[in-house]
Amino acid sequence: ITDNGLGMVSKAFPDTLTRLLLAMCPNITSYGVQVATAQLPLLQLMDCGKSLCANVPPEAPRSYFGDLTGGIRFCSKLQITRKQQPTYQKLIIKHANLKKLSLWGCSGIDALCVNCPELNDLNLNSCINLNPERLLLQCPSLKDVHVTGCHDMLIGAIRNQ
């Protein structure tokens, strides 16, 4: 499913959809997740595990050179010297009824803002690129936060909020 498909589902079932299971859907982005939460007022559970992952852009095609005067000689493939950087996303979720949010394995998230007064369970297991300085949790009902595989500084930032 893509962001467009997610938008279509959200528009088709705004008055009935309470659970949205998007785990391991690599073609959705934080934008699609944000649009879905905005369009689904009855949503109580959202699982986006392993969907918002850091993607390393594909390497540019490599060129071959040849000598066309006396025959064709190919040089070995040129090596790309610049290091490819992963693409990170920020995720902002504001929802009145969401109770459980699972983002396990979402290595593509480096910033997270969650404003959900009813949220009581948040799974951030293996969100290895989430920056503690770019984390804001406004969830007064939050009881369970799962942080296995996260950096110690992130765990400390969660405890301080």
- Determine the average pLDDT of the residues in 77-100: 80
* Residue-level length of the chain: 161
Q: Answer yes or no: is 74 within a domain.
A: no
Domain count, the chain: 1
Q: Answer yes or no: is 139 within a domain.
A: yes
Q: Answer yes or no: is 46 within a domain.
A: yes
Distance CA 145, CA 50 (A): 17
Q: Answer yes or no: is 34 within a domain.
A: yes
Ordered strands of the 135-138 beta sheet: 89-94, 109-115, 135-138
Which residue range is the domain that position 92 belongs to? 17-53+87-161
Place of tokens 């040849």: 66
pLDDT in tens, 28-40: 999 999 999 999 9
Distance CA 53, CA 104 (A): 10
Q: Answer yes or no: is 149 within a domain.
A: yes
Q: What is the pLDDT of residue 44?
A: 98
pTM value > 0.85: no
Q: Answer yes or no: is 79 within a domain.
A: no
Distance CA 90, CA 130 (A): 9
Q: What is the pLDDT of residue 71?
A: 52
Q: Answer yes or no: is 72 within a domain.
A: no
Q: Answer yes or no: is 3 within a domain.
A: no
- Segment among 52-61, 74-83, 127-136 with least mean pLDDT: 74-83
pLDDT in tens, 126-142: 999 999 999 999 999 99
Res. 79: pLDDT tops 90: no
